Structure 1
Amino acid sequence: MDQPADTPTFEASLRELEAIVAKLESGDTPLEEAIALYERGNTLRAQCAERLDAAQARIEAIRLDAEGRATTTPFAAG
């Protein structure tokens, strides 16, 4: 599943999300900026979740059992 060239990678999105969280947690952000940051963070969170779900589906699709047959055992994260 390829992403458009202008779409940031999962890692870049996660770094940006972490920076937004740190800025919001600092408590020094004016309200309007905090709202804009929260909206951006929510968009990034959704993008990261979508990419993780797609990665999980890919992992499940390629698992093989002992006889080499493909299986779809659920992926246990964590």
Structure 2
Amino acid sequence: MQQESALSGQSEADPQDALPASYEAAISELDQLVVRMESGGLPLDELLSGYQRGAVLLQFCQERLRTIEDQIKVLDDGVLKTWKPQ
């Protein structure tokens, strides 16, 4: 019973699921993660957890980009336009 509650508590407070503060923070963490994984020095368990964390970060970035794209569509009457600096 204690083991079951420990496992369920682990998934709720798992740092793997902690979302970054911003899109830029997620990209930075992804970059660092890729460098560590490509170094070839990580044990298999750390590679797996790194892959899982990368998947969480990738999903976060995709959702942020989709949200921004939707806001741009709303701002431009539903027409996505190329942004041109003035």
What range is the shorter-chain TM-score in?
A: 0.7 to 0.9
The structure showing larger relative contact order (alpha-carbon pairs under 8 Å, at least 6 residues apart) is 2
Residue type at the aligned position of 1:58: Q
Q: Which amino acid aligns with 2:80?
A: P
Determine if the alignment matches structure 1 residue 37 to structure 2 residue 62.
Answer: no
More helix by share: 2
Unaligned runs of 5+ in 1: 1-5, 64-70
Unaligned ranges ≥5, structure 2: 1-18
Quote how far apart the aligned CAs of 1:7 are: 4.8
Between the two proteins, the alignment pairs up a number of residues equal to 64
The answer to whether the 8 A contact 1:13-1:44 is kept is: yes
Separation of aligned partners in 2, 1:19 and 1:33 = 14
Alpha-carbon RMSD:
1.7
